[in-house]
Amino acid sequence: MPMLQWSVRLSIGMMVAGVWCARGQDVTGGSPDQVIVTQRAIRHVEERHWPDSPAQGAGKFSPGITEESFRQLVGEAVAHGRLRQNSHGRPGQIYEYDFGHPIGINIDGRSAYRLRVVVNQRNQLITAFPF
């Protein structure tokens, strides 16, 4: 019986810690259909896909994008985009959405109208970029 009590306490502790960590994260919205956007994901997107990023071979957002407007683009793509499984056997999903107007440039330097949003199996943003 003491082993069972320890197991229950451990499970409860893990659930409490998980809720605390989730509250500590920066999230977009609150419904299951929306993606959790962490500061780590924001940093990745800024480093690789922001207009002033030196990264090669990556779509870039239009100048003037802000963290808030980025979150809005991601939210709209997730709410209205086409959903498919991630590629190359990787876990997670991809949302793709055509905004009907340029949101940046693609890897060829041409205007990009579409956004690709990649999320993991816990619905956390991995990356998002114009294509």
12-70: pLDDT as tens digits? 343 333 322 222 233 333 344 689 999 999 999 999 999 999 999 999 999 999 999 99
- Candidates 91, 97, 95, 94; CA nearest to 112 is 97
- In a domain, residue 72? The reply is yes
How would you classify the pairing of strands 111-112 and 114-119? unpaired
Q: Is residue 10 part of a domain?
A: no
d(CA 11, CA 65): 42
Residue 59 belongs to some domain of the structure = yes
Domain count, the chain: 1
Q: Which domain holds residue 71?
A: 27-130
Let me know if residue 56 belongs to a domain: yes
